[in-house]
């Protein structure tokens, strides 16, 4: 791995290639990040016990539901059980795909140290923007996605 694409804390830096991963969603669908090359990807790391994560979920769900097909939203749950995630998703009536990172391997490859953490990956497969903490502004998030190559 090219260590120049990481910050001193070990997190990935904007401009670095997004680490590829293959995983299964809580509904059993196989997902590979590289399958989304050519599309903007919003990658969000979260957990149900994380209050800021829960506060930004309705906004992220709204983005998921409003996006054109050139943008994909992938949500990585940090180590909770399938039952916990399933129960939360059904209670909230959220439809976005959730990958359960039970082993922490995906989180580690991105250097995720705090939740929520959001990575916006551009159409080239590089990290365009990293947002640590809660996203509270819908228009600002839309603008970041446009800057990464999403159509308005």
Q: Report d(CA 47, CA 132) in Å as an integer.
A: 14
Q: What is the pLDDT of residues 71-99, one digit of tens each?
A: 889 999 998 998 999 999 999 988 788 99
Q: Which residue from 134, 29, 36, 28 is spatially nearest to 18, judged by alpha carbons?
A: 36
pLDDT below 70 — which residues of the chain?
Answer: 1-11, 67-70, 152
Helix (H, G, I), strand (E, B) or coil at 2: coil
Q: Report d(CA 54, CA 48) in Å as an integer.
A: 7
pLDDT at position 100: 92
pLDDT at position 114: 92
pLDDT at position 69: 59
pLDDT at position 56: 95
């Amino acid at each position: 791995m090219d260590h120049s694409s990481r910050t001193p804390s070990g997190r990935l830096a904007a401009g670095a290639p997004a680490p590829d991963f293959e995983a299964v969603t809580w509904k059993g669908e196989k997902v590979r990040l590289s399958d989304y090359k050519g599309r903007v990807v919003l990658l969000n790391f979260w957990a149900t016990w994380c209050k800021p994560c829960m506060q930004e979920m309705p906004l992220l769900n709204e983005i998921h539901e409003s996006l054109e097909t050139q943008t994909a939203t992938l949500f990585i749950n940090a180590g909770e059980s399938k039952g916990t995630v399933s129960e939360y998703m059904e209670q909230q009536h959220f439809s976005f795909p959730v990958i359960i990172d039970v082993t922490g391997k995906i989180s580690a490859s991105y250097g995720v140290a705090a939740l929520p953490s959001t990575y916006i990956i551009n159409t080239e497969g590089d990290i365009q923007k990293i947002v640590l903490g809660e996203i509270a502004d819908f228009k600002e998030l839309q603008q970041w996605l446009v800057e990464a190559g999403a159509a308005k």
